[in-house]
Structure 1
Amino acid sequence: MTDEPGQAERALYLAAVRGGGRLCPADLTPADRPALAALVARGLLSPTPTGWTAANPRACGDRLGGELRARALRLLLHAERLPGTLAPLAHAYDAARHAPADSPPVAFPAVDFPAVGRGAVEPGPGSVDEAADARRRISELVSECREEVLAAQPAPRPLEALRMALAQDLSLLRRGCSLRTVYQPATVADPAALSQLALRTGRGAQIRVLAEPYERVLVFDRTVAVIPADADRNRATFLTDPTTVAYLVAQFERDWARATPADRHLDPPPPTTVRIGRLLARGLTQRAVATRLGLSERTVAGHISRLRERYGAQTLFHLGWQMREEQS
């Protein structure tokens, strides 16, 4: 039985109210019996020697609301205890996955890349035959992550995928993990996608935009990497070799350093700052910009400082290069 009365129960209760708050056996048909029993069980009808009387729904609502709140509290307490309850199983799982050094490595061959979610997988020794298995594996890696997730997403993320991943991403951030993602401009050009990204950055995620080609990669705690397994980026493979993972991390860090913070796509700078940035992109020095615009060098330096922070630029040359890339 659900917590709220169904249509038949509501109709029978309203019939009792219209009858002066009473129901007699003669008022009922055989089809009314299930609804009558449900109303009595909820406390909306009370048996009397001659039939049934309608009870105040507010009192019933208060009682059911209290029961629901108590049930919710029990569920929350159970959710808090569950990780500890499953800890012995998790330790056994980890021990089985992290085999001794002299044992053969576990292979994670090509599977559908979760961001695409389509395409057939060629079965083979140790292969995963379903795209759902790849998504499950990545979901496990996110849940097991303790320090950092790095993600380079060259293709626009579907809005539904961002929404589905939100709860897990926020859980990752609540655990104190770092989440850094590089997107291309097409993703941040979508207002709906931007609103989803803002929910993550508001909890500490870092997002940058890189307007140049790069490969898709996910790296978990710098120990497991997920990369495309074919030119179409429709399939993926899981890598655990330390040298390979370190190389992929270095590639990500290189792209991250060249990318620009996503927040500048949400809040455009003042017109004077834009003009200064355009002159810097043309190769003018700070002094030349100040002379051209009739501003003091100190004022121009303040605008440049804000631009460097906005674009994540370490030097004036880097800032000019970033802005030239944006305007090209």
Structure 2
Amino acid sequence: MTDEPGPAERALYLAAVRGGGRLRPEELAPADRPTVAALVARGLLTPTATGYTATNPRALGDRLGVELRTRATRLLLNAERLPHTLGPLTHAYEAVRRPDGPGRFGPQPVQFDTEIDIRHRVFELISECTKEVLVAQPGPRPLEGLETALAQDLSLLRRGCSMRILYQPVTLTDRAIRHQIDLRARYGAQVRVLAEPYEQVLVFDRAVAVVPAAEDRSRAAVISDPAALTFLIGAFERDWARATPADRHLDSPHPTTVRIGRLLARGLTQRAVATRLGLSERTVAAHLARLREVHGVETLFQLGWQMRGEQP
């Protein structure tokens, strides 16, 4: 039985109130019997010699309020005790020499062949992380995956771990995705954007990494070999140094900026773009400066090449 009366119970109780606070057996259908029994169990109806009498719901509210507060207090106490209670189990788990665990040397990568297994291992690694997570995510990001991982990512950030995430510009074209990124940034995650190809990698506490083990990313390998980790972390740091802060990308570009970028990608010069759109060259130059900043490039040639790669 739930804490609150359901729709059928409410309707029958109100019928009793409208009938002067009484229900006679002859007024009840056979289908009403379970509802009557539930109202009696709650104390909202009292059996009498001639039927049932409605009682004041205030008494039920007071009783349920006490029960709920008692239950909440018990849950809070259990939550406080849980880390201590699970402490011996946690220590035993972390003492086991996992071939892919943080701080343990496993020369051979451990491979996971299903998406469920991959997600489960990544979930474990995030839960075990104590200092830092490095994430390089090329290509578009599925919104469902970001929403599912949000609570765990925020929990990691709240407990003082740092998180650096690298995306490509295509990821930020979706408003819902940008909102997810912004939520993590508010809690301290550092997010940058790099308009270059790079490999997917997740690194936890600089002790264990997860990388794709198949071209379609249907399999993953968990690596803890120190030499391999040094290489992966070095590659991430080089990419991070070339990337630009995501806050420069989180605001949607002006439609005119988008049109200018597309024309530039088609090979038009700055003057030709200005003529085509009926704008001054100074205005076009300002839009192009914004695009260069977003894409982290210095020349119009580099910008045109980057924009070319983003054309549908």
1:150/1:219 contact within 8 Å kept:
yes
- Identical pairs, percent: 63
Quick one: structure 1 residues 139 and 104, their matched pair in 2 at CA, closer, same or farther if it must change by over 3 Å? closer
1:251 is aligned with what amino acid? A
- Give the match for residue 91 of structure 1: 91
What is the CA deviation profile of residues 157-184 of structure 1, one whole-angstrom value per residue up to 9, with x for unaligned ones? Answer: 1111111101000100011000110011
- Give the match for residue 258 of structure 1: 242
- Give the match for residue 46 of structure 1: 46
- Give the match for residue 221 of structure 2: 237
- Give the match for residue 4 of structure 2: 4
Quick one: structure 1 residues 17 and 252, their matched pair in 2 at CA, closer, same or farther if it must change by over 3 Å? same
- Give the match for residue 145 of structure 1: 129
| Aligned Cα root-mean-square deviation (Å) | 3.1
2:10 is aligned with what amino acid? R
- Give the match for residue 111 of structure 2: 110
What is the CA deviation profile of residues 200-236 of structure 1, one whole-angstrom value per residue up to 9, with x for unaligned ones? Answer: 1101011111111000000000001001112233221
2:209 is aligned with what amino acid? A
1:110 is aligned with what amino acid? Q
Once residues 185 and 133 of structure 2 are traced to their aligned partners in structure 1, the CA distance between those partners, rounded to angstroms, is 14
What is the CA deviation profile of residues 58-116 of structure 1, one whole-angstrom value per residue up to 9, with x for unaligned ones? Answer: 553454344334323322332232122111011111111358xxx994855332xxxxx
Check if 1:192 corresponds to 2:215: no
Equivalent position to 1:158, from 121, 139, 142: 142
The DSSP-based 3-state class of the residue aligned with 2:96 is helix
Once residues 185 and 178 of structure 1 are traced to their aligned partners in structure 2, the CA distance between those partners, rounded to angstroms, is 22
Once residues 36 and 43 of structure 2 are traced to their aligned partners in structure 1, the CA distance between those partners, rounded to angstroms, is 11
- Give the match for residue 297 of structure 1: none
Check if 1:80 corresponds to 2:64: no
Pairs within 5 Å for 1:119-130: 121=113, 130=114
Is the deviation greater in 199-208 or in 38-47? 38-47
1:9/1:39 contact within 8 Å kept:
yes
Quick one: structure 1 residues 107 and 14, their matched pair in 2 at CA, closer, same or farther if it must change by over 3 Å? farther
The structure showing larger relative contact order (alpha-carbon pairs under 8 Å, at least 6 residues apart) is: 2
1:6 is aligned with what amino acid? G
TM score, norm. by length of structure 2: 0.76
The DSSP-based 3-state class of the residue aligned with 2:16 is helix
Once residues 302 and 61 of structure 2 are traced to their aligned partners in structure 1, the CA distance between those partners, rounded to angstroms, is 62
Quick one: structure 1 residues 233 and 131, their matched pair in 2 at CA, closer, same or farther if it must change by over 3 Å? closer
TM score, norm. by length of structure 1: 0.72
Number of corresponding residues:
268
The DSSP-based 3-state class of the residue aligned with 1:38 is helix
Once residues 324 and 56 of structure 1 are traced to their aligned partners in structure 2, the CA distance between those partners, rounded to angstroms, is 79
Q: Which runs of 5+ in 2 are unaligned?
A: 254-281, 283-289, 306-312
Once residues 117 and 89 of structure 2 are traced to their aligned partners in structure 1, the CA distance between those partners, rounded to angstroms, is 20
The DSSP-based 3-state class of the residue aligned with 1:238 is strand
1:211/1:325 contact within 8 Å kept:
no
Quick one: structure 1 residues 171 and 256, their matched pair in 2 at CA, closer, same or farther if it must change by over 3 Å? same
- Give the match for residue 22 of structure 2: 22
